Amino acid sequence: MFGARKASKNVSATDTFIGEGTVVEGKIVTSASLRIEGTVVGDIECQGDVFIGEKAQVRSIIAARSVFAAGKIEGSVLTKGKLTITSKGRVDGDIVVGSLHVSEGGVLRGQCAMEQPRGGELRPAKEKPQKEKDAAKQASA
């Protein structure tokens, strides 16, 4: 009745869809693309692309090939590729991206680092050593 589905090696296809009205809590790990129209609370590790729909709300650290944000993201975004924030998109958190596009009306609130990851890994920007923090604090006092 339902034919056997062959495993797809096409990472650009959306294999996982979280629909509007759906709430997911917990870590999501996927090798293909992910589309979110509902609510996700928990980290996302995606080897493909992550698409955040206009009504979606995501509280997460997102690590993906590329991220397209038309909804709201609270948390960090780490991409090897491009972070696109549409006119209705909002990102409240730090980002480390290969490239960035923010449409007029889109919001990015946080620190931004544009860099190519070494060895194909995504890592958050390094924090300043405590000595540098203390020196900056004393200088401003």
pLDDT tens-place string over residues 5-31:
444 445 455 588 999 999 999 999 999
Percent of the chain with pLDDT over 70: 72
How far apart CA 40 and CA 18 sit, in angstroms, is: 9
Rounded CA gap, 69 and 79, in Å?
12
pLDDT over 70 (residue 86): yes
d(CA 45, CA 125): 17
pLDDT confidence band for 4 (50 / 70 / 90)? very low
> Which element (helix H / strand E) includes 132?
helix 130-140
Asked whether the predicted pLDDT for residue 111 surpasses 90, the reply is yes
Output the pTM of the full model: 0.73
Task: Provide the 3-class DSSP secondary structure of residue 136.
Answer: helix
Across the range 38-55, mean pLDDT stands at: 96
- In the structure, what pLDDT confidence band is assigned to residue 115 with cuts at 50, 70 and 90? confident
Name the E strands within the chain.
Answer: 14-18, 23-25, 28-30, 33-36, 39-41, 44-46, 49-52, 57-59, 62-64, 66-69, 72-74, 77-79, 82-85, 90-92, 95-97, 99-102, 107-109, 112-114
As a whole number of angstroms, the distance between CA 46 and CA 34 comes to 7
Instruction: Judge contact between 66 and 52, C-beta under 8 A.
Output: no
Q: Which amino acid is at 24?
A: V
